[in-house]
Chain A
Amino acid sequence: MTELEAAKQNVIEDFALYDEWLDKYEYIIELGKNLGEYPEEKKTDDKLIKGCQSRVWLDYKLQDGKLWFSADSDAIITRGIISLLVSVYSGRSPQEIAADDFSFLDAIGLKENLSPTRAGGLRAMVETIKKAAQDNV
């Protein structure tokens, strides 16, 4: 199993620990609270992800052939969701991310438990990560 696959498997197992969606959200909120610092000066419009109800910024750098993401949002649940993506996809090669189908998000049932506007926001976050990978392949 690749490291990416293992990271995804970990998330799936973490989510499976909770039966109630409110508890899963509690977990997402914790992820949001623990997301690393994101510099204020990088909260610029070009880093803003379009299509989210709350504001989400995503930035990345390419180092030693691997992509490292950082992100922030003014809503804590959105922070939690982007934190999940950042932790799974940071430190992977652009090729690996570009080839990924992001289907683990279906496996944890996140999409169907978000409102349509939130689900649209999640899709926009995924597209932004994919594009960062494709731009650097």
Chain B
Amino acid sequence: MESVNEIRSRFPQLSEKVYGKPLVYLDNAATALRPLSVVKKWEEMSLVHNANVFRAVYRTSVEATEAFEAAREAVARHINAADSAEIVFTSGDTAAINLVAGSFGEEFIKEGDEIIVSEAEHHSNLVPWQILCRRKGAKLVKLPVADDGTLRTDLLPGLLTPAAKLLCVADISNVLGIINPVKEIVRICHAADCAVLVDGAQGIVHSRPDVQELDCDFYTFSGHKVYAATGTGVLYAKRKWLDAMPPYMAGGEMIDTVSWESSTYAKAPHKFEAGTPNVAAVPTLVPALEIAEEMSAPEFSANSLAIKEYILESLSSVEGLQLFGNPADAGDKINLFSFVVRGAHHEDLALLMDKMGVALRSGQMCAEPLMGRFGVTGMLRASFAPYNTMQEAEYFIESLQRALRMLR
């Protein structure tokens, strides 16, 4: 595990202690730890190249613009977009989804239309669609989740009425950790003339999405979950949509010409980047995606697989433990484990394990309807990153057992 140990040295927070105990960080699905290369890029942008982008002729502004646009190229390459102009920078995954709901929704959704949303979505990929449906008199349609956490794609053909205009689904759920068959979903939807938005908040970390191969219309993600600075987000959209969609926010460099009465707008992607963007943070996507790529090497996959087998085995032997997101083939699941234990409240477990140095998420995980679907008020979630080790996995299981002994 030489590569894993070497990578760990580049994430300083992994050597931190909490309550005098080594930090075991298992809330990676909420936000990833940050590598030094990302911090250095942010520092360099702030201390050396700080200037506003796109508007001035002086050297520093040109450098800032170049760094900003280099990030666009890097993102386009990483997800294999056909053209870097299909990459729009936002403040995060939520902002990217809201942009589509606001702009695509304004232009293409009308009264009586239907928007299909999977039952496994976090609030960011549900509430914007609720608001759009209310605004336009459209109907929100649920793509249900089966008991094992997989999507009921068998029901999809029946849901795809002529009124269905858009389907929204995560490629990996933040609660169930299941890799959804989005390529297949896109194929079925497109055959019925329905566009597809893929929420890649988790998928960008645990897979290498190829948007041309997926053929999705939109792909969104946050930078901070994939090791970049917070306040960065990406909307990938097919050129045909970006050209047809109206601006979502106005001001700054999103215009072509402006007179007192009216304006014409810049072309995509700048049409959708109103105001001063996050100049210092966006370029951190370059080193972030580089380290993400490094961590997709076989040694990391082998480490992750061993951890997955160990955790699944260990959790199944805990009395009264119910794991959510349990596909028949464990290969369809990432190292994200949400569960409840009979006789122990998820919040109590999280609090006690925090005191043992283990950082976990407890509660509804921004997916309240999904909690209702499984009849629980909350869950405990451990989500691993490629830099987590088997020793940390073992300590997590020991801590869980110790906390359970205290509570039961």
Residues of A within 8 A of B (CB): 21-22, 25-26, 29, 53-55, 74-78, 114-115, 118
Contacts and interface: CB of A to CB of B under 8 A. Distances in A.
Given A53-B378, A54-B345, A76-B344, 9 more contacts: A25-B352, A53-B347, A53-B362, A54-B377, A76-B407, A77-B348, A78-B348, A115-B354, A118-B347
Interface residues of B, number: 16
A53 B363 CA distance: 8
B258 interface: no
Nearest to A113: B355
B406 A26 contact: yes
Interface string B122-145: 000000000000000000000000
Given A55-B377, A76-B407, A22 B356 contact: yes
Contacts of A22: 352, 355-356
Interface of B: 19, 344-345, 347-348, 351-352, 354-356, 362-363, 377-378, 406-407
B351 A118 contact: yes
| CB-based closest 9 A-B pairs | A75-B345, A22-B355, A77-B348, A75-B347, A75-B348, A54-B347, A76-B348, A21-B355, A53-B347
Contacts of A118: 347, 351
18 contacts: A22-B352, A22-B355, A25-B351, A25-B406, A29-B407, A53-B378, A54-B345, A74-B377, A75-B347, A75-B348, A76-B348, A76-B407, A77-B345, A77-B348, A77-B351, A77-B352, A114-B351, A118-B351
Contacts of B344: 76
A105 to B, nearest CB: 17
A133 B362 CA distance: 33
Contacts of A25: 351-352, 355, 406
Contacts of B345: 54, 74-78
A25 B405 CA distance: 13
Contacts of B347: 53-54, 75, 77-78, 118
A32 B347 CA distance: 14
Contacts of A29: 348, 406-407
A78 to B, nearest CB: 7
Contacts of A55: 377
A77 B354 CA distance: 13
A74 B351 CA distance: 14
A21 B378 CA distance: 25
Contacts of B352: 22, 25, 77
B205 to A, nearest CB: 25
Contacts of B354: 115
A55 B345 CA distance: 11
Nearest to A52: B347
B161 to A, nearest CB: 39
Contacts of B406: 25-26, 29
Contacts of A54: 345, 347, 377
B293 to A, nearest CB: 34
A75 to B, nearest CB: 4
Contacts of A114: 351
A53 B407 CA distance: 18
A25 B347 CA distance: 13
A26 B408 CA distance: 11
Contacts of A78: 345, 347-348
A21 B19 contact: yes
A21 B351 CA distance: 11
A26 to B, nearest CB: 6
Nearest to B356: A22
A115 B356 CA distance: 14
Contacts of B355: 21-22, 25
Given A74-B345, A76-B345, A115 B407 contact: no
A134 to B, nearest CB: 29
A3 to B, nearest CB: 31
| Residue from A75, A77, A118 having most chain B Cβ neighbours under 10 A | A75
B325 to A, nearest CB: 22
B376 to A, nearest CB: 11
A49 B354 CA distance: 25
